[in-house]
Amino acid sequence: MLSLIKLPRVFNVHQVPKAFQEDSIISGYRHPRSSATDCVLSLFQLTNETLNVWTHFLPTWYFLWKLLTVVCMQDVWNDAYTWPLLVFLLSCCVYPLASSCAHTFSTMSTRARHICFFFDYGALSFYSLGSAITYSAYVMPDSWMNSLFHAYYVPVAVFNTIICTTMACYSRFLECQRPKLGKVVRISAFTYPYLFDNIPLFYRIFLCVGEGCTANEVNSVHIYHTLLAFLTGFLFATHLPERLAPGCFDYIGHSHQLFHVCGIIGTHFQMKAIEMDMALRRPWLQAHAPPITFNSSLGATMLCILLSLVIIYLFSCPLLRGPAPSKGSSKGSSMARKCCRD
């Protein structure tokens, strides 16, 4: 069937605008003004984005199955104890789906590329909050329960989603004129909330000694997730292995593909550890931890989604107003319009 369909042509790095060029990737680029149909068809041919899409699109269905399993097998409507897990599983479905859609349709235009990845960044912020909500409910060390840090942990995580989404979206405008600074800002945007979210976990598995440390068999699974998370960040920041041999990993094996794979496997171990902590610690948590409320779980999630959509809208507006800066436009709007020129 596919042999009867004319697949889109691919290009080398010198044939596409700078906004579409990737570090040390020489070939396999799609047309920078592809139609939506061309973008979908390109998923069935080998380009430098093909595996970026499939390595996140396929796991989305696994995470969706996990979410539906919890909804169908547990009394989620009446048992507030399951709400943080629902939030986390929902975020696990959203972030790979948003990523796969962003990579699929990012070559429709420069504007579309920026806006697609705005949604990708918002989904990653949501995943960060989902992790924080479950850590607050199930992973927090015994000795930190009901502490001041615990009381403000989720509110600060919500605030971090605003910072993360804003910095990540703004980094795309910086990339146009100062690509290295844009890269640093984007890495910082996701490193900061990750480090904050994992403060209780790092303390529990690496620093805490003695009573109140929640030392159980789940800690080893948390360590797997932590190691994979650091490997994921390393691949994203260094562009290895393609930086060592430009052109050799254009289609298979470049850092973004490996980044996706490590991230998904890390999320799997994170999910497994959270579910184990949730089950093993339930009697103790229900006796000693503060009750899980709507505001600390589902309410925080809705607020995060709303704020991220507002931020995405605000960053998208100057891109959609046209390529030419209007009289009296702000510096940020001018930068945005310059960035979206093809």
Q: What is the mean pLDDT of each run of 10 residues along the chain (342 residues)?
A: 71 94 95 96 96 98 97 92 97 98 96 96 97 97 94 97 96 86 93 96 88 84 96 94 96 97 98 96 94 95 97 95 48 54 51
**Cβ neighbours around 237 below 10 Å, total:** 15
pLDDT of the residue at 146: 93
pLDDT of the residue at 7: 82
Contact between 131 and 186 (Cβ < 8 Å): no
pTM of the predicted protein model: 0.92
pLDDT of the residue at 327: 38
Residue 273 lies in a domain: yes
Residue 222 lies in a domain: yes
The dihedral sign for the CA sequence 218, 220, 224, 227: positive
Residue 305 lies in a domain: yes
pLDDT of the residue at 342: 47
Residue 21 lies in a domain: no
The DSSP output letter for 193 is: H
- Backbone φ, ψ for residue 157 (5° rounding): -65, -35
In whole angstroms, give the CA distance from residue 16 to residue 254.
19
**Boundaries of domain holding 131:** 50-339
pLDDT of the residue at 210: 77
Residue 232 lies in a domain: yes
pLDDT of the residue at 326: 37
Residue 7 lies in a domain: no
Number of domains into which the chain is organized: 1
CB proximity list for 341: less than 8 A, separation 6 or greater: 110, 323
In whole angstroms, give the CA distance from residue 149 to residue 200.
9
CA distances (Å), origin 307, targets 62, 160, 178, 194, 267? 28, 11, 27, 19, 24
Residue 37 lies in a domain: no
